[in-house]
Structure 1
Amino acid sequence: MDPFNRPGEISMTQDELSRYVPTHEYSSTAPAQPSMVIPPPSLPLYADDTSRFDTVAPSSHDFEYGEFASPEFFKSVSADRFNHKAQLTEWTYEMRREAQDFLVREGITLLLAIRSRRSAQARLVSGEKVAAQLGIEADAIDISDNQELIAEFPRAIRRINDHLSSPSSPALKSTSPAQRKILVFCESGNERSASVVIAYLMVMLNLNMVDALYIVQHRRFCVCIEEPMRHLLASFESILAAKRDVTKAKRDTLHPNWDAAQVQTPRKRSFSDLNDSAATAEHDTEMDMDGDRYVERNPSAPFQDR
């Protein structure tokens, strides 16, 4: 029996003698959660035209050097590494399980796992064993839940860029930075690892979340970014926009061609400066008259120790 629906009792909203005045419309069903609608990419859509999924190196990196990439990154990694032309390919869902088969064929040099701490403790998701067999590197980003990803995106991006730009290590003695490739994977390969790649494109290619999502999904059709992760990526996009604004403001301030009058901190001008400027302006004599008050003043400090 429902304790809230006793025989012989009616709700106050249905009692004609009740003075209760409803102010909200109630429903027995749970309220629907607001959904995040993903708009189409900003690039134009044409049938069988994959150009909208191409990636092109941006003209600038509008973030502080050292946060997502080391200062030496752009000296050792060519901009051509970010140019990639999308192609129409045949893809089946079973192909998502064939990652280990093309590690050697594709020349993968780093296996980066995006995994839960529970999977890490159980050693269920790890590339260390395969990496040791192939003589390549392996690393992992461990999180308690997806919400932690927004704080781990910068570390994952920096780890990828450090691998691409670092000098040869004992594990990579036969590869140069130009030959480095990273495989980002997770428990399913559908969301967490894909979100890291999307975040990477947003940072390094200055893409918005929607375009980055479509580019990744076009190359891996099984990618399924659920609504909570979409909101997380949208929040990360807002953070990146704020970081870009701060970095641009700093660089504009330090740029040698910037108007010095807008950059220098105003300092209090001395009386001699005021008098000099007044002397150059014959029509302005008020400055000199004001300075006469200080001619006969004792130059000593107003307070002295005894």
Structure 2
Amino acid sequence: MALPLPQVNEQAMSDNSHHGHARSEDYVFRIPTPPRVVIPALNAWNNSKASWHPGDIIYNPDPTVNVDFLQETDYLGELARPVVSGGGWTYANRRRAQSVLSYLYLGPQNAARDKEYLQREGITMILAIEHKTPSGSLLTKGPMKVADELGIAKAKVEVAHNQELISLFPTTTRTINSHLREMHNRRMLNPQGGIPEGKVLVFCESGNEKSAGVVAAYLMDTYTATDYVKAAQICNQRRFCCSFDDSMKQLLKTYGELVTAKRDIASLNGQSNHSQGQPITNPFFGSPEIASPQPRQPGSYFAAVLNGGRKREREIEQEDVDMDEGNGIVADDQDRFSGREFVPFR
């Protein structure tokens, strides 16, 4: 006669009541993924329907890409006017380009092939962001031919996938700004020559993905008060059909952190070397010319180096002691969780 098996209550240890904690969310069995990057909708961001200002233009010591002259112009364009989320947007607008700033346009390849549109808007350069294929892409041949017929500048960036964009963002920003600077210099040299101000159309096949990411990165690179969230919102404000998927949002977030970190480092260097005349600049575009340092008292330089070395040696020894005692580990663990609102158990 078989004896009945005892009833076993299978329960996770984290669910036991005697622990005094309850899980915040249900368990999900899936591949671990990074947290989703949430970009608020425009109507939530712009409740007051106020105009939006991306900030001041970052000074660049390289004269070939410095566009601070735009500060004296109406560079905001349509962005300076209040816009309701989706207001006046129609499906047909997807096939047209829109001005994000007065000199920067975003749209599909259809707009880049429209000769009348390019002439009417005064576009002086087209920048193609196309998908790289083994046999080469035929999508940009039409726009490039139109650019040759109109005598305007053209440039092309090929990417196999979106992840390659993060390494090309500085290049696309430099391409745009160098063209704007060139057109401005030509106008200054020949004021009566009828040379227009530079205007750049950035496009991809749909005008909603890769090219939108390039424009968002440009805004972060060029303006002081624009992070990845605001950059994406500005693009959506001007071109409502822009599509930033999770991978593109994560890409822009990472790039924004890189821009902020390098800008902070450049700012610290600029402050510490203020007496040497080094301006605070965008670190992605080279470095300023180093002015002659102020003279020191004889022997003071070597004394400072030696004293600084001894001080750093003592700091390293103290850090080793802290790690041996566990203090450093506790501090690192606390820093890891600082600023997090979500907790797995309550």
TM range (shorter): 0.5 to 0.7
> 2:89 — aligned with what?
91
Is residue 51 from structure 1 mapped to residue 50 from structure 2 by the alignment? yes
RMSD of Structure 2 on Structure 1 (CA): 4.0
C-alpha separation in 1, matches of 2:302 and 2:206:
60
> 1:241 — aligned with what?
260
Q: 1:55, 1:82 within 8 Å by CA — same for their partners in 2?
A: no
Q: 2:126, 2:155 within 8 Å by CA — same for their partners in 1?
A: yes
C-alpha separation in 1, matches of 2:265 and 2:219:
20
Q: 1:184, 1:193 within 8 Å by CA — same for their partners in 2?
A: yes
> 2:20 — aligned with what?
none
C-alpha separation in 1, matches of 2:271 and 2:28:
57
Moved more, 114-123 or 153-162: 114-123
C-alpha separation in 1, matches of 2:13 and 2:245:
35
Q: SS of the counterpart of 2:73?
A: helix
> 1:107 — aligned with what?
122
> 2:24 — aligned with what?
none
Q: Deviation of residue 200 (structure 1)?
A: 0.9
Measured against aligned partners, the alpha-carbon deviations of 1:134-176 in whole angstroms (never above 9, x if no partner) come to 221111111121101000000000000001011449xxx8524
C-alpha separation in 1, matches of 2:207 and 2:93:
11
C-alpha separation in 2, matches of 1:120 and 1:241:
38
Q: SS of the counterpart of 1:195?
A: helix
> 1:144 — aligned with what?
160
C-alpha separation in 1, matches of 2:147 and 2:43:
38
> 1:80 — aligned with what?
73
Q: Deviation of residue 32 (structure 1)?
A: 6.8
> 1:164 — aligned with what?
180
C-alpha separation in 2, matches of 1:119 and 1:174:
43
> 1:300 — aligned with what?
none
Q: 1:198, 1:209 within 8 Å by CA — same for their partners in 2?
A: yes
Q: Deviation of residue 187 (structure 1)?
A: 1.4
Measured against aligned partners, the alpha-carbon deviations of 1:16-44 in whole angstroms (never above 9, x if no partner) come to 89xx998999x996447444141538998
Q: 2:37, 2:249 within 8 Å by CA — same for their partners in 1?
A: no
C-alpha separation in 2, matches of 1:103 and 1:124:
18
- What is the identity percentage for the equivalent residue pairs of Structure 1 and Structure 2? 30
Residues 24 and 155 of structure 1: CA distance in aligned 2, closer, same or farther (over 3 Å): farther
Q: SS of the counterpart of 1:121?
A: coil
Query: Scaled by the length of structure 2, what TM-score is found?
Result: 0.58
C-alpha separation in 2, matches of 1:247 and 1:46:
32
Q: SS of the counterpart of 1:91?
A: coil
Q: Deviation of residue 196 (structure 1)?
A: 0.8
CA radius of gyration, larger in: 1
Q: 1:209, 1:237 within 8 Å by CA — same for their partners in 2?
A: yes
> 1:289 — aligned with what?
none
Q: What amino acid maps onto 1:90 in structure 2?
A: G
Q: 1:36, 1:227 within 8 Å by CA — same for their partners in 2?
A: yes
Query: Scaled by the length of structure 1, what TM-score is found?
Result: 0.65
Q: 2:65, 2:181 within 8 Å by CA — same for their partners in 1?
A: no
C-alpha separation in 2, matches of 1:56 and 1:71:
19
Is residue 226 from structure 1 mapped to residue 245 from structure 2 by the alignment? yes
Structure 1: segments with no counterpart, 5+ residues: 1-14, 270-306
Residues 79 and 41 of structure 1: CA distance in aligned 2, closer, same or farther (over 3 Å): farther
Residues 257 and 34 of structure 1: CA distance in aligned 2, closer, same or farther (over 3 Å): closer
Q: What amino acid maps onto 2:145 in structure 1?
A: K
Moved more, 119-128 or 155-164: 119-128
> 2:190 — aligned with what?
none
Partner of residue 256 from structure 1, selected from 256, 262, 275: 275
Measured against aligned partners, the alpha-carbon deviations of 1:30-62 in whole angstroms (never above 9, x if no partner) come to 447444141538998454x4425x23541x627
C-alpha separation in 2, matches of 1:33 and 1:147:
16
> 1:267 — aligned with what?
302
> 2:102 — aligned with what?
none
Q: What amino acid maps onto 2:137 in structure 1?
A: A
> 2:169 — aligned with what?
153
Is residue 203 from structure 1 mapped to residue 253 from structure 2 by the alignment? no
Q: Deviation of residue 217 (structure 1)?
A: 0.3
Q: What amino acid maps onto 2:40 in structure 1?
A: P
Residues 35 and 255 of structure 1: CA distance in aligned 2, closer, same or farther (over 3 Å): closer
> 2:144 — aligned with what?
128
